[in-house]
Structure 1
């Protein structure tokens, strides 16, 4: 249950520093992330805003595929500046 098909541990939480354009708006951006396979919850916090971009702290919980999340953020015009926290293992910790 807590391992993927290959018997490896899973990534349960990822906290990202993301730079994105104003579009999509924060509620739409969060909803798009929340609708991805394996995602159970999303928290998006605005850290900084300027004329063309927004800097966000994005926390994603679930049974996660980092590469898929990264690809979608890039598809929506964003870039991941850093991965600030990861929780992984055979069971989720809080």
Structure 2
């Protein structure tokens, strides 16, 4: 098997359904995710808001580690309800 065949494919995009408290704010939440190692871009969309929480669709692009992203969201008091999309491969398709 060729050396390139033995490489683990990269996770390029993860789309998450996230429930988080109002703090941190959406801009701060997106900036903090964007500063993580391997993250090239973050898109956060507010789906629903109630008295204490916000439901978000979070799209993260880059060379990603899902466990680290989930852990960081949990550190901020959030919960990943579901992983709605994952793109994996040797190069990102747009």
Measured against the shorter chain, the TM-score band is over 0.9
Query: Which residue matches 1:62?
Result: 62
For the residue of structure 1 that corresponds to 2:77, the secondary structure is coil
* 2:89 alignment partner in structure 1: 89
2:29 is the counterpart of 1:16: no
- Separation in 1, partners of 2:71, 2:82: 14
For the pair shown, the structure with the greater C-alpha radius of gyration is 2
Q: Which runs of 5+ in 2 are unaligned?
A: none
Aligned length: 90
The two structures have a TM-score, normalised by structure 2, of 0.93
- Offset of residue 91 of structure 1: 1.3
Q: Secondary structure at the match of 1:44?
A: strand
Tell me how far 1:57 sits from its aligned partner: 0.3
Equivalence for 1:32 = 32
With normalisation by structure 1, the TM-score equals 0.93
- CA drift of 1:82 comes to 0.5
Counterpart Cα distance in 2 of 1:93 and 1:18: 24
In the aligned structure 2, how far is the partner of 1:90 from the partner of 1:22? 36
CA distance in 2, matches of 1:93, 1:85: 14
Query: Pairwise CA RMSD of aligned residues?
Result: 1.1
Counterpart Cα distance in 2 of 1:7 and 1:84: 25
